[in-house]
Amino acid sequence: MTPIQTLIQKQRDFFATGATKQLAFRKAQLARLKTLLEDNTQAICDVLKADLNKPADQVMLAEITPLVHEIDYMLENLERLAAPKNVESPETLKLFGAGEYHSQIIAEPYGVTLNISPWNYPFQLSISPIIGAIAAGNTVVLKPSEFTVHSSALLNRLVAQYFAPEFFTVVEGDVAVNQALLAEKFDYIFFTGSVPVGRIVMAAASKHLTPVTLELGGKSPFIVDTSANLEQAADSLIFGKTFNSGQTCIAPDYLLIHEAVKAEFVAILNQKLTALFGDNPWQNYAKVVSERHYLRIKNFLKDGNIVAGGLFNDETHQMIMTVLDGVTWDSPVMQDEIFGSVLPMLTFSRFDDALAQITAQAKPLALYCFTEDKTNQEKVLAQVSFGGGAINSCFLHFFNHNLPFGGVGDSGMGSYHGDRSFYELSHEKAVVVRKIA
Q: Are residues 282 and 355 in the same domain?
A: yes
Question: Using one digit for the tens of pLDDT, what is the confidence trace for 141-166?
Answer: 999 999 999 999 999 999 999 999 99
DSSP 304: S
pLDDT at 155: 98
- Residue 381: CB atoms within 10 A of its CB come to 13
Q: Are residues 308 and 206 in the same domain?
A: no
Q: Are 238 and 273 in contact (CB under 8 A)?
A: yes
Q: Are residues 247 and 351 in the same domain?
A: yes
pLDDT at 96: 85
Question: Using one digit for the tens of pLDDT, what is the confidence trace for 251-290?
Answer: 999 999 999 999 999 999 999 999 999 878 898 899 999 9
Q: Are 105 and 125 in contact (CB under 8 A)?
A: no
Q: Are residues 35 and 130 in the same domain?
A: yes
Domain tally, the chain:
2
In angstroms, rounded to a whole number, what is the distance separating the alpha carbons of residues 414 and 424?
Answer: 7
Q: Are residues 140 and 185 in the same domain?
A: yes
pLDDT at 396: 94
In angstroms, rounded to a whole number, what is the distance separating the alpha carbons of residues 218 and 121?
Answer: 17
Q: Which of 341, 345, 343, 397 is nearest to 366 (CA)?
A: 397
Residues 6+ apart with CB under 8 A from 27: 75, 78
Q: Are 269 and 343 in contact (CB under 8 A)?
A: no
pTM: 0.95
**Maximal C-alpha separation, the chain:** 83
Range of the domain at 341: 221-399
Q: Are residues 251 and 386 in the same domain?
A: yes
What is the three-class DSSP state of 416? strand
pLDDT at 278: 83
In angstroms, rounded to a whole number, what is the distance separating the alpha carbons of residues 174 and 392?
Answer: 40
Q: Are residues 105 and 170 in the same domain?
A: yes
Catalytic annotation, residues = 215, 249
pLDDT at 384: 98
Q: Are residues 134 and 262 in the same domain?
A: no
- The CATH number linked to 392 is 3.40.309.10
**120 exposed, middle or buried (CB, 10 Å; 0-12, 13-18, 19+)?**
buried
Residues of the chain with pLDDT under 50: none
Q: Are residues 206 and 298 in the same domain?
A: no
Q: Are residues 121 and 97 in the same domain?
A: yes
In angstroms, rounded to a whole number, what is the distance separating the alpha carbons of residues 286 and 284?
Answer: 7
- The CATH number linked to 92 is 3.40.605.10
Q: Are residues 78 and 143 in the same domain?
A: yes
Q: Are residues 139 and 285 in the same domain?
A: no
- Residue 346: CB atoms within 10 A of its CB come to 20
β-pair partners for 211: none
Q: Are 414 and 202 in contact (CB under 8 A)?
A: no
In angstroms, rounded to a whole number, what is the distance separating the alpha carbons of residues 332 and 344?
Answer: 11
pLDDT at 271: 96
pLDDT at 437: 65
Q: How many CA atoms lie within 13 A of 199 on its CB side?
A: 4
DSSP 9: H
In angstroms, rounded to a whole number, what is the distance separating the alpha carbons of residues 264 and 269?
Answer: 9
